[in-house]
Structure 1
Amino acid sequence: MKILRNWMMRGALGVGFCGVLGAAAPALAGDYEGSPQVAEFVAEMTRDYGFAGEQLVSLFREVERKQAILDAISRPAERVKPWKEYRPIFITDARIQKGVDFWNKHADALARAEKEYGVPAQVIVAIIGVETFYGGNTGSYRVIDALSTLGFDYPPRADFFRKQLKEFLLLAREEQVDPLTLKGSYAGAMGLPQFMPGSFRAYAVDFDGDGHIDIWNNPVDAIGSVASYFKRHGWVAGEPVVSRAQVRGENAEQGLTEGLDPVKNVGELRALGWASGDALRDDLPVTAFRLDGVDGMEYWMGLPNFYVITRYNRSVMYSMAVHQLSESLVNARGGR
């Protein structure tokens, strides 16, 4: 990562901005010339976080509004694929082999993350594998362009992306990196684990101890950061993720959960005709769901650790893909 220009360093924050809109304030130029939203944002960052206003204006002169980003986020949603079509996208020989290679290369960091945070190495590797193919596709948009475009030109979610833009400028200052150099997805997700800026500031860690958190180029920091995220969201070491169920009886469908929250427990599902071959206590909270698999409908109980995976991406199929990729990685390595 490129070292931050002096204008974002804490030592350079004493320069006043004259209220952004006052006579002494420099004028915005470029794609956001004359934008009252950007002027208001600059004023907020100056007032609330001590940034040098003139230098933020200089920054936004270099920010580009990307129509391709607006087109991408506004594109009609694709047909939701059934599990039998979704799973083969992520559980492939190439992704498994690349994951084994990644695991072997970073075995020490993964073992340390598992010991410190309780999150299995295979789950950490699977997250990075699903998100970016182990760093092979981390995004080509400048993060500041993506967040500015969506924060100022996409009204349906402008508040969210403007908040992420604020978090991004804060993390750039804290990590002393040039915000114009950092790249990510069209939505502003960053690095090997595709953290949004808010998640970066809340959960990312300097896992190699070099004084900087770099999830773009440093797999060790990415590994520790994923483990930190899972631990902070309630991952319980040594506990399973899902349990396959057999369902019988006319009331079995009533056991299915609406949404992702584990609002039922194992005992309630048993009473409705759900049976599992695993030893699960009756009061264990679960998310009950079904998937349209190659061999027919599959019924599953998502256990508390499954719910943690859904906090990373709020999708049952995403979370199952991560889980099953993690199992495939273990099998491909011949066990742990």
Structure 2
Amino acid sequence: MKKLIITLMLVAFTGTPSFAVPLTDEALAFADRLYSKYGIDPLKTALLIQSADYSDKALSLMDRQFEKSGWGMYRKSMVTDNRSNKGGRFYLEHRPSLELAYAQYGVTPEIIAAILAVETNYGDYKLPHRAVDVLSTLGFYYPRRADYFRSELEALLAYAEKNGMDPFSFMSSYAGAVGIPQFMPSNISKYGIDFGGDNIADLVNSKTDAIGSVGNYLAKFGWQKDKPTAIKLRGTGFDSFLGQGYDPKFTVKELEDAGIIFALPANQEEKVNVIRLQTDKGFEHWAIFSNFRTIMRYNNSANYALAVLLISKNIEEERKRLEAGNTGGS
């Protein structure tokens, strides 16, 4: 009955039942749920969905994410000199926040910076979509993951209502991730923090809050302070260790006993897994540790996690180069 009342009110209010995102039974049930859980006026929610623009772009991109491309192409696009050079300057500019996050959460400062590099070019990339448009479209017209995206739309609207914000003010990726660290809306309240001391966890405008929130997120998902993330491998004997997923299962010693050589020294008792990545010159093999899996909790892609690691190493080198230059070193 409530759905019928909302529909009749909308027709009376707009003069037409033709909507940018049509008000299906699912959409009206969604409005009812937000009223039951958060006290949000169902007519307000229904009008918001009506006002959302249908996003063909979001639908077309969902099944061809760049992270699914080959490692060679992905690395070339993501691990760039520009990100490295800019990352060194970003570190020096935001050193207090990055090093506080390291002290508080144990997350390597360069890893936090590298994630922000990939997500929004250190906060300078202007997100192209309205989150409401994307999440409404995916929540009601992308059957494979509709429940997930409706729950994210719910989180966005609840967050906006609680904080007196306009839901249409949130810009996002094609998947509905918002802010400098590209958090999905449900993660803003779970992991977003006020790191600047102004009593507002502002992930849209505050790079300081973004830094702290990324550190908090990785710590919550098990980041191990000062532990390795991934080490490149060479040698033979890979086949028996491949295809085992991403959670560490073998010891470093087991790999070395099988004839695998680590490019860097590693504690023989540390647990690892092995991944094989395709490049234009053949395969690369990497030993991945628990911290690698933690980065994948941020974005479930081995390409993404390895790009973050390599960018972080480049940021470290650039930061040291800039520091040496500032002190007259060579």
Residue in structure 2 matched with residue 35 of structure 1 by the alignment: 24
| Paired amino acid for 1:241 | T
Q: Which whole-Å CA distance do the structure 2 matches of 1:47 and 1:239 have between them?
A: 45
Q: Select between 254-263 and 290-299 the one with higher mean Cα deviation.
A: 290-299
Residue in structure 1 matched with residue 2 of structure 2 by the alignment: 19
Alpha-carbon contact 2:67-2:304 (below 8 Å) kept: no
Q: Which whole-Å CA distance do the structure 2 matches of 1:77 and 1:44 have between them?
A: 31
Report SS of the residue matched to 2:168: coil
Residue in structure 1 matched with residue 295 of structure 2 by the alignment: 309
Q: Which whole-Å CA distance do the structure 2 matches of 1:149 and 1:224 have between them?
A: 31
Alignment of 1:1-336 (within 5 A): 19-22=2-5, 26-27=9-10, 30-74=19-63, 81-248=69-236, 251-276=237-262, 277-282=264-269, 284-292=270-278, 297-334=283-320
Residue in structure 2 matched with residue 7 of structure 1 by the alignment: none
| Paired amino acid for 2:198 | D
Alpha-carbon contact 2:195-2:209 (below 8 Å) kept: yes
TM-score, structure 1 length as denominator?
0.85
Q: Which whole-Å CA distance do the structure 2 matches of 1:252 and 1:56 have between them?
A: 54
Measured after TM superposition, the shift of residue 296 of structure 1 is 5.0
Report SS of the residue matched to 2:90: helix
Relative to its length, the structure with more helix (as a share) is: 2
Distance 1:146 1:23, change over 3 A: closer
Q: 1:160-191 CA deviation, whole Å, 9 max, x = no partner?
A: 10111111112212333211111101210111
Alpha-carbon contact 2:241-2:273 (below 8 Å) kept: no
Q: Which whole-Å CA distance do the structure 2 matches of 1:167 and 1:23 have between them?
A: 22
Work out the percentage of aligned pairs sharing the same amino acid.
Answer: 33
| Paired amino acid for 2:4 | L
Q: How many residues align?
A: 315
Alpha-carbon contact 2:87-2:318 (below 8 Å) kept: no
Q: Which whole-Å CA distance do the structure 2 matches of 1:134 and 1:99 have between them?
A: 8
Residue in structure 1 matched with residue 14 of structure 2 by the alignment: none
TM-score, structure 2 length as denominator?
0.87
Report SS of the residue matched to 1:60: helix
| Paired amino acid for 1:40 | A
Measured after TM superposition, the shift of residue 79 of structure 1 is 10
Alpha-carbon contact 1:32-1:38 (below 8 Å) kept: no
Alignment RMSD: 2.4
Q: 1:209-242 CA deviation, whole Å, 9 max, x = no partner?
A: 2222211111111111110110001011111212
The gaps in structure 2 that reach 5 residues or longer are: 12-16, 324-330
Residue in structure 2 matched with residue 3 of structure 1 by the alignment: none
Measured after TM superposition, the shift of residue 314 of structure 1 is 1.5
Q: Which whole-Å CA distance do the structure 1 matches of 2:294 and 2:267 have between them?
A: 18
Q: 1:135-165 CA deviation, whole Å, 9 max, x = no partner?
A: 2324221101110011011112111101111
